[in-house]
Structure 1
């Protein structure tokens, strides 16, 4: 069997495993829906009012997308590795031709599909429920590589957390500990003006910051395909995706 065949087979197995967990499927899509309904439709934004949610609805699209790009890969990949370790599956995988890189790629592709669907749902809700105006230009197509690369970054990080944590509960705790600060301190829901000046350089350390800046330029500022802001942030996310994917593949245990 070729490498493509091995990845396809593992992708199919991981996809079917996801679909069998109906609770996981439900909450994967319910969480972003309820988030948009609460903060987008009920709380709503108060332009020029100051404080949180003082910007137009479209400004917060990167934040809503970041919730699924960040939380879902961290918890899903980390938990999958924890389950494999508890079931001694890595010892069995070590006897097959499937490499750690191929296993990681298959898991990443499953998450790309799942989160891609969730992202489409979020965009539709933002337009239909909150009235957010998303510029329809060729540049909006760059949302696809932003989501794909962002998912890859946090799949890699999830793999590292899953390899370090000693149980599924440990993975969930570690994922939340990492994800919550990143979600609110990466130019998503909290604008840079609301943070102290000394915190500015720290924001630049977050991979999610570059995802947020690029997505906001596309969905709020109407940037084009060749906009320097978009391309710069996309390049940073792409470089981080390579680094985290390699780190995540390397962190996968050979045996349990």
Structure 2
């Protein structure tokens, strides 16, 4: 069996495993809808007022996308790794031609498909519910794909170090929640203390949100968003970070338990 066939076979099994878990399917797509309804329809943005949501609705599109790009891979891949460890499935995997990198690639492809579908729903809802004006740039596809792959790698690392599925969920939330609000998603850099600004650049989610905003929001603004980060530069850096996190996650996967 070729490498491509091995990856596709594992990806097919992971896909069917996902769709059989109705609760997981429901909340994967329902959770970001709730976030949009809360922040977009109830809280709403106030560009001329004070408070947290002071930017136009289109500014927060990266934040809405980050909800699924960040949370879903961390919890799904981390929980899968922990479940495989508890069931000694990696010992069985070691007796097959499927390598650890191929296993992680297969599960990453499934997550890219799932989160890609969720992202389409999010973008449609953001426009319909919040009235956001955004540019549907083709750069959204690689940004979402690379963001998912990056956090799949990080999820594999969490699944390796956590001692149980419950531990993975706790660790995922502990990592994801700070990143979600401290990576220029919902909270602009201007609202954070100046001493914290260099730390924001250390978050991989920052380069996802800056790049998505540069591709979808700034081109429609007066002046084209002068002084903002180039989305191509953000995409290149995200590619480097994704490669590093994916390789680290693949190496961290146990061969035996």
Shorter chain as denominator, the TM-score bin is over 0.9
- 1:159-238 equivalent positions in 2, closer than 5 A: 159-222=156-219, 229-238=230-239
Q: Which residue of 2 aligns with 1:134?
A: 134
Give the alignment's Cα RMSD to 1 decimal. Answer: 1.2
Query: Any stretches of 5+ residues in structure 2 without a counterpart?
Result: none
Query: CA offset at residue 218 of structure 1?
Result: 1.3
Task: Confirm or deny: 8 A CA contact 1:51 1:194 kept in the other structure.
Answer: no
Match of 1:34 in 2: 34
How big is the shift at 1:130? 1.1
Output the CA distance in 2 between the equivalents of 1:153 and 1:220. Answer: 23
Could you tell me whether the CA contact under 8 Å between 2:153 and 2:246 is conserved in 1?
Answer: yes
Which residue does the alignment assign to 1:93?
A: 93
Partner of 1:103: 103
4+ runs of 1 displaced by more than 6 Å?
none
TM-score (norm 2): 0.96
Contact (CA 8 Å) 1:63, 1:212: kept in 2 or not? yes
Q: What is the TM-score with the length of structure 1 in the denominator?
A: 0.96
Aligned residues: 251
Q: Given the superposition, is the C-alpha separation of residues 228 and 49 from structure 1 closer, same or farther in structure 2, using an over 3 Å criterion?
A: closer
Aligned mates of 1:188, 1:128 — CA distance in 2 = 20
Gaps of 5+ in 1: none
Deviation at residue 228 of structure 1 after TM alignment: 6.8
**Displacement after TM superposition at 1:112 (Å):** 0.2
* Cα deviation, residue 42, structure 1: 1.1
| Residues 1:16 and 2:16 are matched in the alignment | yes
